[in-house]
Amino acid sequence: MDLTTRYLGLDLRTPIVASASPLNGHVDSALQVEAAGAAAIVMPSLFEEEIVHEEVELTRALEAGSEHFAEALDYFPDVDDAYMTTTDRYLATLESLAARCEVPVIASLNATSPGGWTWHASLLERAGAAALELNLYHLAADPTLDATAMEHRDLQIVEAVRTAVSIPVAVKLSPHYSAMANFAARVVDAGADGLVLFNRFYQPDLDLESLEVVNRVELSHPGEMRLPLRWMAILRPQLGPDVSLALTTGVHSGTDVVKALMSGADVAMLTSALLRNGASHLRTVESQLVAWLEDHEYESTDQLRGSATTATSGDAAAFERTNYVQVLHSWAAPHHLTPSSPSS
């Protein structure tokens, strides 16, 4: 069975990729992920906010009391050499993984300023990243910015990073752009080599006792795969075979990988399934994928890929329209809720 695939110009053993997660942020656990069968590893995002916050706190700590004792700063002449910043730690991990992993290591970046995107992208390339995933994670919560302004800002980011690095660049999108098909094509025109569908937003909760906002991490479930699956099937024929496409969110099993490939994805990315079941779950997913392909007499993943897009589906509208009425009518009530016939 030929499982080989190509993503962002990288030759991969299988289409199963370990997407950004805490497992991939430490050398030991990332090597376990590779050993379990990941065809590529995406590191967790390097967030500019964390870098800036750390730098501000360090500066505040070093300058504490200096307005009264200016000579106090002389006691820290080598602090830059001794202090490991968030960026330093990330780059050190990336360098180690790039040197020790046989599979491609993809760095992930989420910045807030134009300079932050390009500067850190260059650092990640020099540290050995095989490719770069730009994580465009934000909410359009500013009422003074319309959709055009928001999209223009994101496109400028893609263009700037594409100019700053020579390695392949994938853009991880949210599903909330007002005209997704149009924006996806413009991201590619701006220089992206591929797209990752989709970013998963983590919603805060409210604690009714403390009356505080609580951050809760809830792992995905397979049902969440339907949204990226639908858009993958729509975008693949529109963007063509030269654009790399990755499907993420809700991928938990080998049959989920099959669905991703059928919809046109080059690779399927897993996070929650590995956090829930451990890195060894990758072996199970690959075995399930192989079993399905053999049972259905496929010889390769390439033979399967794109077989259920809007270009090949007998009912393309099933992907393109909401099917609101049809879905509602398809629901079957449980027996105890079914109205009984009146007695004669």
What is the tens place of the pLDDT at every residue in 171-228? 999 998 999 999 999 999 999 999 999 998 767 788 888 888 887 778 889 999 999 9
Is the model's pLDDT at 165 over the cut of 80? Answer: yes
What is the tens place of the pLDDT at every residue in 16-38? 999 999 999 999 999 999 999 99
**Other Cβ atoms closer than 10 A to 187:** 27
User: Is 101 a member of any domain?
Assistant: yes
- CA 118, distance to chain mean position in Å, is 19
* 248 or 62: which leads in pLDDT: 248
User: Is 329 a member of any domain?
Assistant: yes
pLDDT score for 47: 78
Short-list 237, 256, 239, CA closest to 308: 237
Query: Domain range for residue 112?
Result: 5-337
User: Is 342 a member of any domain?
Assistant: no
pLDDT score for 139: 77
* 261 or 218: which leads in pLDDT: 261
User: Is 283 a member of any domain?
Assistant: yes
pLDDT score for 280: 97
Q: Judge whether 110 and 47 are in contact, CB under 8 Å.
A: yes
Query: Which of 74-78, 82-86, 154-158 tops mean pLDDT?
Result: 154-158
Facing residues of 11 across strands? 6
| 10-12 and 5-7 strand pairing | antiparallel
pLDDT score for 204: 78
CATH at residue 175: 3.20.20.70
Residue 78 half-sphere exposure toward CB, CA atoms < 13 A: 2
Is the model's pLDDT at 337 over the cut of 90? Answer: no
How many separate domains does the chain show? 1
pLDDT score for 260: 98
Q: How far, in Å, CA of 76 to CA of 114, rounded? A: 32
Please give the structure tokens belonging to residue 73.
Answer: 């700063």
| DSSP-derived secondary structure for 215-282 | E------GGGGHHHHHHHHHHHHHH-TTSEEEEESS--SHHHHHHHHHTT-SEEEESHHHHHH-TTHH
Minimum mean pLDDT among 13-22, 208-217, 252-261, 284-293: which range? 208-217
* 142 or 256: which leads in pLDDT: 256
**Other Cβ atoms closer than 10 A to 239:** 19
User: Which DSSP letter does residue 332 get?
Assistant: -
Is the model's pLDDT at 76 over the cut of 60? Answer: no
Short-list 199, 254, 224, CA closest to 19: 199
User: Is 100 a member of any domain?
Assistant: yes
Q: How far, in Å, CA of 29 to CA of 113, rounded? A: 31
User: Is 227 a member of any domain?
Assistant: yes
Please give the structure tokens belonging to residue 302.
Answer: 């390439």
Short-list 167, 169, 172, CA closest to 192: 169
Q: How far, in Å, CA of 276 to CA of 271, rounded? A: 9
Average pLDDT over residues 248-276: 97
User: Is 344 a member of any domain?
Assistant: no
Average pLDDT over residues 97-121: 91
pLDDT score for 217: 75
User: Is 48 a member of any domain?
Assistant: yes
